[in-house]
Amino acid sequence: MSTIDLPRPDRGGWPGLHTPPRSPWRARIAESLFRHAVRGLPISVVLPGGARLGAGGADAPVMRVHRPDAFFHRLGVDAKIGFGEAYMVGDWTTTRPTDLLTAFAAKLTTLIPPKLQLLRRWVERRHPASDSNDVVGSRRNIHRHYDLSNELFAVFLDETMTYSSAWFDGDRGSLHEAQLRKIDGVLDYAGVRAGSKVLEIGTGWGALAVRAARRGATVTSLTLSAEQKALAEQRAHEAGVADRVDIRLRDYREERGRYDAVVSVEMIEAVGGEYWPAYFGMVDRSLRPGGRFGLQAITMPHDRMLASADSYTWIHKYIFPGGLIPSVRAIEETVRDHTRMRIEATREFGHDYAETLRRWRERFLDRWEEVAALGFDETFRRMWEFYLAYSEAGFRVGYLGVRQFGMVR
């Protein structure tokens, strides 16, 4: 089963989303499991008629289930996708999505009884073949998210247009300052200075390439997003560094140059586990002896990575098709087994990603009218609100982390 093509300003539609799948016996099982799961959570689940579930007190986040029949059918057919879809269509609502999802995330590994977890391999959906991260599939996957609209991302990102975790000075400072600190951290790990020849894997909208060029480096930056390439080139020109920044529509596997430094910020999550050796091998091949690699990656615990690696989730279907978040151990082992590099330094700042996401979500919602003016509908709004809150919850409880690595060849 292939994923849907997400609505863009010039073409809408959510095929089949508003009609819940039907499976009465699965719905009954899902309702029983849901009631058991929320029984001890510090939330309040309100059903039609006023019945309440959960262990939350007066100040607890409230989840209002408006259409329980549709909600439990969605959960029964595919819980990892149905819960988010139910929010997208309004089967349930909440005024505090991050607090509510944090309560679920804190108990994520125990929500389903252990004996039933053993059945996951037979009942959970696997990634569709269309989401493969071969050269053709990677271009398609990147297009589905990053080519939605440059104007959309400009609404909620800071002025650097940086779409990855910021690095705050404690809880202080602006998002802009924190993003520049993060970029400088990666560049420092890679040893980027005047005269450096730098390869960037994953351009974004050009902030890192511009920052490196302002240090006096020359930068070749690779992206698969035509929208990002166009805006990044414009921003490099406006910054006065276009002569030192070369942005190419090229898959990392197709790069053949040699560089003093390689940098990559939160691109490895889109590579796919089976291609991690090729990704790190390409970095190794691209570095001159003594060259350095600055990497920033979202991470998750190794056991959770292994348990969820084959699962097809709501995030895959609607946000990041084909993605897999690595563990620190997976990165360390792949570097050790497939490269001549060694890891010299790391820093972890997952709590800063929670703060970054909080600011993005608030800005996205505060400026929703600007997003709607681009042609995106209310279903899209709820989808992105859920995505940003869901992600923030993961970083809040430590289910997700973010780490910078400094490596040398």
**Among candidate residues 249, 282, 252, the one with its CA nearest the CA of residue 133:** 252
The one-letter amino acid at 133: N
Residue 88 shares a structural domain with residue 179: no
Calculate the CA 407 to chain-centre distance: 23
96, 87 Cβ separation under 8 angstroms: no
278, 253 Cβ separation under 8 angstroms: yes
Q: If you ran DSSP here, which 8-state letter would residue 215 be given?
A: T
- Rounded Cα distance between 283 and 164, Å, is 20
Question: Whole-prediction pTM value?
Answer: 0.91
**Average pLDDT, rounded, for the chain:** 90
- What is the pLDDT, as a whole number, of residue 309? 85
% the chain with pLDDT above 70: 87
Residue 235 shares a structural domain with residue 300: yes
- What is the pLDDT, as a whole number, of residue 1? 32
Residue 350 shares a structural domain with residue 250: yes
Looking at 65, 97, 123, the residue that finishes a domain is: 123
Residue 15 placed within a domain: no
- What is the pLDDT, as a whole number, of residue 141? 61
- Rounded Cα distance between 251 and 272, Å, is 14
Could you report the per-residue pLDDT of 142-195, keeping only the tens digit for each? 666 767 789 999 999 999 999 999 999 986 789 999 999 999 999 999 999 999
Looking at 123, 152, 180, the residue that finishes a domain is: 123
- In the numeric block, the tokens 């390689």 are attached to 262
- What is the pLDDT, as a whole number, of residue 18? 87
Residue 84 placed within a domain: yes
Could you report the per-residue pLDDT of 11-27, keeping only the tens digit for each? 556 888 888 888 999 99
Residue 199 shares a structural domain with residue 241: yes
Residue 354 placed within a domain: yes
- What is the pLDDT, as a whole number, of residue 148? 79
Query: Can you give 38-52 as a three-state secondary structure string?
Result: HCCCCCEEECCCCCE
Write the CATH number for 231.
3.40.50.150
Checking if the pLDDT of 5 tops 80, the result is no
Which band of pLDDT confidence, cut at 50, 70 and 90, is reported for residue 310?
Answer: confident
Per-residue pLDDT, averaged over 73-88, amounts to 94
Checking if the pLDDT of 279 tops 50, the result is yes
- Rounded Cα distance between 135 and 140, Å, is 9
Checking if the pLDDT of 400 tops 70, the result is yes
Write the CATH number for 46.
3.30.1050
- What is the pLDDT, as a whole number, of residue 106? 86
Domain that holds residue 94: 24-123
Residue 227 shares a structural domain with residue 279: yes
Which band of pLDDT confidence, cut at 50, 70 and 90, is reported for residue 117?
Answer: low
Q: How far apart are the first and last CA of the chain?
A: 42
- What is the pLDDT, as a whole number, of residue 10? 47
Could you report the per-residue pLDDT of 289-300, keeping only the tens digit for each? 999 999 999 999
Residue 239 shares a structural domain with residue 284: yes
Count of Cβ atoms closer than 10 Å to residue 246 Cβ: 14
Q: How many distinct structural domains can be found in the chain?
A: 2
